[in-house]
Structure 1
């Protein structure tokens, strides 16, 4: 009787213990247990703790950044190239030579002395481009030539006044770029005064014509002092003035001061 009662009480207890016990799950074979030593080694080999190794890509990036920085420095240098230049690019010159007037009588030319002056400004300096700083400039020029001929009874007098503005492009040479050959094309006007005197009676005719100026020359700005920026400006040129159907040719030189 006691044995049967004990068995009947033991069976419900075992069933209750099995029901309340937490089931043990088997570990996944693909995820083995990690020990503390293994965790430290994995952290040391992780990308955060791994020291960066140099590669071709990283080196090329460094070179590329260095080239970009050098290009920026060169651009800044080009933009500031004119700040420390003591020259203003302005010059005043007196010119003289021979004017070969187109002859109305069909001859080769009437050779007359010609004088004048000009103002020069190197406007290429305001462009902040090193190659054009001293290559681009223009002249404001005045030239005079006159002829007087005839007899005691009849005298003819002709006076020509040329006023022009002509830009030029110069190819400089030498280390200092103080000398160069240039071509020039511009325009302006000619004021012509013609008078005919017969005895005591004079007849005068004045006229104004537009003209085209073009030619070539050699230009220099020679240093005269290492202390001052004042220079000796000079030119040798061959220039033509086209007025109407007539071509006048000027062969001469000029001398002055450049600042």
Structure 2
């Protein structure tokens, strides 16, 4: 009798325990257990998505900024260049004076001097720094002709300002070929002697100067800014209907 009573009491207890434990063993399929590594990756993924991707506008903006940096570099060109682009030279050669009689030109000795300034340095453009310059020039020539009775002494003074464009070459760009066109005046002073009587005749005419040449600024010392400036040139002076041709060279100092 005791065994039957205990069995009848045990069966309801087991059934009740199984009913209470069933909800605890079930898991929600929609919310699986998250491991620590997965939680970190889920936290970082929204941050990665929030970072904007590069667009064509970004590439264009970066390119424009690089162009601006290049322009600033060009504008700062020459700040470390110790040279000022100024030169003084003495010149000499032969002046082929146009003959009003239609004959071959009279060959006369000529001399003078000039001041050169490389104004291209003001533009802060590397390609034009030493390519653009101009001369302030003075050239003198004289001729004496006539007979024992009549003698004429003619002195010619050429004063010009002439810009030039130079194509430099060499690693240091110290040498170049140039073309030059400018203008100025020619002053002619003639002393005519007839017997013992002296008569002076003078005149002033405008002129056009044009020609070509080879220019150099040879470095003398690595410790100094002073350079040896030299030129070989073929230049013409157009005064009125006459063309005077100068063939010569110059030598001086550049700073």
Q: TM-score range by the shorter chain?
A: 0.7 to 0.9
Give 1:14's aligned residue.
Answer: none
CA-atom RMSD in angstroms: 3.0
Aligned match for 1:158, one of 154, 157, 162: 154
TM-score (norm 1): 0.78
Find out whether 1:187 has 2:197 as its counterpart: no
| Secondary structure of the structure 1 residue equivalent to 2:46 | coil
Q: Measure, in 2, the Cα distance between the counterparts of 1:64 and 1:37.
A: 47
Find out whether 1:81 has 2:46 as its counterpart: no
Aligned match for 1:237, one of 224, 233, 246: 233
Tell me, which stretches of 5 or more residues in structure 2 are unaligned?
1-29
Aligned match for 1:210, one of 200, 206, 210: 206
Give 1:177's aligned residue.
Answer: 173
Q: Measure, in 2, the Cα distance between the counterparts of 1:152 and 1:163.
A: 33
1:132 deviates by 0.4
Q: Measure, in 1, the Cα distance between the counterparts of 2:83 and 2:243.
A: 36
Give 1:103's aligned residue.
Answer: 99
TM-score (norm 2): 0.79
Cα deviation code 1:217-256 (max 9, x no counterpart) = 0000000000001000000000000000000000000000
Find out whether 1:135 has 2:100 as its counterpart: no
1:114 deviates by 0.3
1:184 deviates by 0.3
Q: Measure, in 2, the Cα distance between the counterparts of 1:187 and 1:37.
A: 95
Tell me, which stretches of 5 or more residues in structure 1 are unaligned?
1-33
Aligned length: 225
Give 1:147's aligned residue.
Answer: 143
Q: Measure, in 2, the Cα distance between the counterparts of 1:50 and 1:111.
A: 89
Q: Measure, in 1, the Cα distance between the counterparts of 2:181 and 2:106.
A: 24
Q: Measure, in 1, the Cα distance between the counterparts of 2:184 and 2:172.
A: 33
1:65 deviates by 5.3
Q: Measure, in 2, the Cα distance between the counterparts of 1:101 and 1:75.
A: 50
Aligned match for 2:48, one of 38, 48, 51: 51
Q: Measure, in 1, the Cα distance between the counterparts of 2:148 and 2:217.
A: 48
